């Protein structure tokens, strides 16, 4: 029996996408396979690693735990949408680059989305707030120290650029 498809209308990185997908299509698969936005990575596929984190109306969500059909009408930002329209990397992206906050990079899209929301809500986080803020994202390479440094660096860049 052919699976029933549902119409999904989703704004992704400022562009409206309309596609038909089965009710069980995960948002991570919808983004990667239906829209070709492969910047969102999939690691554990059960809500543990945070690699698949995207912003849903600005809030971080696990796209591997979200059915695409449930977010119709809403706005998603993926790692592809963090840079400025002219390609200039966001302060968070630049800080990760400068502080060597990645090695293999598999976890990085999830961290970048998480940290973008963290610094919007907490522009001057303490060390504890940074550690707590990234605690839902796992990295098997870096030991986290440079990621923590990058979050502080990004906070400083955002503050500088707001002056
Ligand atoms: S792939 Fe979604 S949390 Fe690991
Ligand atoms: S940089 Fe390799 S998993 Fe984080």
Q: 3-class secondary structure for the chain?
A: CCCCEEEEEEEECCEEEEEEEECCCEHHHHHHHHCCCCCCCCCCCCCCCCCCEEEECCEEEEHHHCEHHHHCCCEEECHHHCCCCCCCCCHHHHHHHHCCCCCCCCCHHHHHHHHHHHHHHCCCCCHHHHHHHCCCCCCCCCCCHHHHHHHHHHHHHHHHHHC
Residues 124 and 98 in one domain: yes
The pLDDT tens digits for 21-52 are: 999 999 999 999 999 999 999 999 999 999 99
From 59, 81, 103, give the residue that closes a domain: 81
From 81, 105, 134, give the residue that closes a domain: 81
Residues 9 and 66 in one domain: yes
Residues 99 and 76 in one domain: no
Residues 61 and 102 in one domain: no
Residue 51 CB–ligand 2 contact under 6 Å: no
What pTM was computed for the model? 0.97
CATH of the domain at 55: 3.10.20.30
Residues 69 and 100 in one domain: no
pLDDT interval class at 155 (50, 70, 90): very high
Mean pLDDT within 15-21: 96
Task: Inform me whether the pLDDT recorded for 3 exceeds 90.
Answer: no
Instruction: Print the domain residue range for 150.
Output: 91-162
Q: Which atom of ligand 1 is nearest to the CA of 44?
A: 4
The pLDDT tens digits for 107-128 are: 999 999 999 999 999 999 999 9
CA distance 54 to 110: 7
When divided into structural domains, the chain yields a total of: 2
Task: Inform me whether the pLDDT recorded for 73 exceeds 90.
Answer: yes
Q: Does 86 map to a domain? A: no
pLDDT interval class at 62 (50, 70, 90): very high
Residue 100 CB–ligand 2 contact under 6 Å: no
Q: Does 107 map to a domain? A: yes
Task: Inform me whether the pLDDT recorded for 1 exceeds 80.
Answer: no
Q: Give the mean pLDDT of the chain.
A: 97
Q: Provide the percentage of residues in the chain whose pLDDT is more than 90.
A: 98
Residues with CB under 6 A from ligand 1: 42-45, 47-52, 62, 64
Q: What is the pLDDT of residue 2?
A: 79
CATH of the domain at 156: 1.10.150.120
Mutate to test the pocket of ligand 1, among 48, 78, 106 (most ligand atoms within 8 A of CB): 48
Residues 74 and 98 in one domain: no
């Amino acid at each position: 029996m052919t699976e029933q498809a549902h119409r999904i209308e989703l704004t992704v990185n400022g562009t409206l996408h309309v596609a038909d997908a089965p009710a069980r299509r995960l948002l991570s698969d919808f983004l990667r396979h239906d829209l070709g936005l492969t910047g969102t990575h999939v690691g554990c596929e059960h809500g543990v690693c945070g690699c698949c984190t995207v912003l849903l109306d600005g809030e971080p969500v696990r796209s591997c735990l979200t059915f695409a059909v449930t977010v119709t009408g809403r706005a998603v930002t993926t790692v592809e949408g963090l840079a400025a329209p002219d390609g200039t990397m966001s302060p968070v992206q630049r800080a990760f680059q400068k502080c060597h906050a990645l090695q293999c990079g598999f976890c990085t899209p999830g961290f970048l989305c998480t940290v973008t929301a963290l610094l919007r809500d907490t522009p001057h986080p303490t060390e504890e707030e940074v550690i707590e803020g990234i605690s839902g994202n796992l990295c098997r390479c870096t030991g986290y120290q440079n990621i923590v440094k990058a979050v502080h660096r990004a906070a400083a860049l955002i503050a500088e650029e707001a002056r």
